[in-house]
Chains A and B, each alone.
Chain A
Amino acid sequence: MTLVDPTPARASALHQALIDPDLAIASIGLSMRFRSGQLAVDDVGLAVPPGSVYGFLGPNGSGKTTTIRMLLGLVHPTSGDFRLLGTDARVGLDHVLPRVGALVEGPAFYPFLSGRQNLARCDAADRTADVATAAARIDRALDQVGLLAAADKRYRAYSLGMKQRLAVAAGLLRQRDLMILDEPTNGLDPQGTREIRSLIKQIAADGTTVFVSSHLLAEVEQICSHVGVMSTGRLVFQGTLAEMRGRGEPRILIRTTEPDLAAKQLGRIGLADIVVDERSVTAELGEHGADVINAELVRADIPVFGLETVRPSLEDMFVELTGEGFNVNG
């Protein structure tokens, strides 16, 4: 807990009206400035459709966790508004949070209690949970994440993967309309990552909207229907996965033993952004036809071993949106 005091600067009623109440998560102008002056989240407008699996992507430190903390009422926005499952945050989240399962910034449980006792503790704090079915619900949640056999082991003795799964189990203690999972695969080995991914698929198949954050695109790419990309506090892209895929400019890739000559030829044709490699050349395709380019190359006696048009991978676009990072290309 830091000593940040919330400033009750809230957007106008007009803003509020603009937020679609049918969305699972909707926000407008959501911002958070730390007391240090750093703007951790800057004017984020989320639109998470119900029933979607929304991948909330961005490098570490891009404001994903702070956004999630705001959505769950842990920190108070400096400005902006949001609705969670249609409920206005200014009205209070206490009535809607029971419908939301959450894992924030890694699992947090009591090391001296067993997995089962930890879930019982979570359930006991829920003022709307059915007391009579608690034991059955806890066992079912443990079963769903495959922890039933280790239920009576102390949390301290759990592996990282088991800890993450216990945190997901806490979200599964009751029927949820929305699951918010912050970096559920953080620190897991490929096997653990697959387990979590399969769990998320299973949760989504039950009709629960899943909002899952990650700094690794590849981890969530296979399960998401929608993506939002954060970069230095701002939401730089939001849309369906297909929309993100369609966003990249197609390029032409030519495999050849004479890449320099090929590059020259491509330049003559008028292609932009030509990149020469040892045994290939790529360039932005633009309005040119691949067949025409092929013919031009052959006419110039350049040996063409392969030619294809490629769309940039999601990974490339993710990097393009969020910045290269530290000297990736050397």
Chain B
Amino acid sequence: MSTASLDSSAGAQRPADDVLVINSARTPASEFRHWLRLFISELRIVYRRPRNMAMLAVLAAAPIFLGIVLKFNTPGPGAGPPNGAGEFIGQVAENGVFLSLLAMFVLMTLVLPLSVAVVSGDSIAGEAGLGTLRTLLTVPAGRVRLLLTKYLMIVVFCFSACLIVAGVGLLMGSILFPIGPVTLLSGETVPLIDGLYRLLMIVVYVSLGLSALGAIGIALSTFTQHAIGVMAAILVVVVASEILDAVSQVAVIHPYLPTHFWLTFDALLRTPITWMDVWHGLASFAVYIVIFGALALARIRRANVTC
């Protein structure tokens, strides 16, 4: 800046003060409007960030890649093993809807949790690392208000990540393979619209499972200013949980593992739907969200922000 420009700004008339005066009236409606503004700003920060955009692009590329591979190397019906991804792999060639399911199933083992780990691990620790946490808190954004806004942003991210995988999977499936009435895992065939409805329920279920992981992430994120450490810790939780879930000797703890119910969404692909499995899963997610949400809240309210 030149001295000249400083002088000109120093000499500038102070603008009409009514613009700058603080509007102290706080109604629930204005509180909500202001909160919405912060929330939108939060979403902008996350979705405009080049790193996160690249991550979402990878998520979108995965179903495309899977679709192309299966198009040129088509497995026959029932080709895969009778559980896990194998349940879907043989169906893809018959019905493109299954590409969407297969993609979600495959990405749930690592890539989707990784993306949630990045966003939730970064949520508080990243701001602390940049120093923007102190900027936001002195505005003041409100500690609890900021945390809740960030968690809601994480939930939105979980839904958007799943929707991208399912949506691109469905699109690629419909381009590469026939689309029609859906043959369920239990053998019945339901109309396409019913199949899509079940797909949507699965997206919601998986998103909530990831949101539970996001709650663990944001809680860990309040303890440090090193976002990368939190991301690694979340992934350790995921991998450890998945390994323990595969060891039958510790079957007694399986229902308490955070990842145990992630893939039980196949219950929604049977007739009748085994709702008990679905409710168990949702209850598990809710418990994780409550416990780690409370931890995060307690932590953010007491924390000394020294960075």
Contact = CB atoms under 8 A, between A and B. Distances in A.
Contacts of A143: 9, 12
Per DSSP, are chain B's interface residues mostly helix, strand or loop, or mixed?
helix
Given A1-B225, A1-B306, A2-B304, A122 B24 contact: no
A121 B45 contact: yes
A122 B45 CA distance: 12
A131 interface: yes
A94 B140 CA distance: 6
B144 to A, nearest CB: 10
Interface residues of B, number: 57
Nearest to B136: A125
A69 B307 CA distance: 10
Contacts of A3: 223
Interface string A113-136: 100000011101111111101001
Contacts of A110: 45, 130, 132
A175 B17 contact: yes
Given A4-B306, A140-B15, A128 B6 contact: no
A98 B15 CA distance: 19
B61 to A, nearest CB: 22
A20 B92 CA distance: 75
Nearest to B35: A127
A170 B139 CA distance: 9
Contacts of B26: 127-128
Interface stretch (A9-17, A73-81, A238-246, A247-255): A73-81
Interface in A206-249: 206
Nearest to B140: A97
A187 interface: no
A1 B307 CA distance: 5
A97 B139 contact: yes
Given A112-B48, A128-B26, A175-B20, A74 B137 contact: yes
A105 interface: yes
Contact of B135 (A76, A122, A136): A122
Contacts of A104: 134-135, 138
B303 interface: yes
Contact of B146 (A102, A107, A125): A125
Contact of B41 (A76, A93, A125, A161): A125
A5 B141 contact: no
Contact of A127 (B31, B41, B225, B307): B31
Interface string B55-70: 0000000000000000
B280 interface: no
Contact of B49 (A105, A112, A124): A112
B22 interface: yes
A146 interface: yes
A72 interface: yes
A165 B1 CA distance: 10
Interface string A1-34: 1111110000000000000000000000000000
Per DSSP, are chain A's interface residues mostly helix, strand or loop, or mixed?
loop
Nearest to B15: A140
Given A1-B225, A1-B303, A127-B145, A98 B22 contact: yes
A144 interface: yes
Nearest to B141: A125
Contacts of A124: 37-38, 40-41
B241 interface: no
Contact of A75 (B20, B40, B305): B305
B50 interface: yes
Nearest to A96: B140
Contact of A206 (B14, B134, B142, B306): B14
Interface string B174-215: 000000000000000000000000000000000000000000
A108 interface: yes
Contact of B23 (A130, A144, A145, A170): A130
A163 B116 CA distance: 31
Given A74-B304, A175-B20, A131 B40 contact: no
8 contacts: A97-B138, A97-B140, A99-B22, A105-B134, A126-B139, A128-B26, A144-B9, A162-B1
Interface of A: 1-6, 66, 69, 72-76, 93-94, 97-100, 102, 104-113, 120-122, 124-131, 133, 136-137, 140, 143-147, 161-162, 165, 170, 174-175, 194-195, 198-199, 201-202, 206
In the complex, the 4 A-B pairs of residues with the closest C-beta atoms, listed nearest first? A108-B131, A124-B41, A125-B141, A175-B20
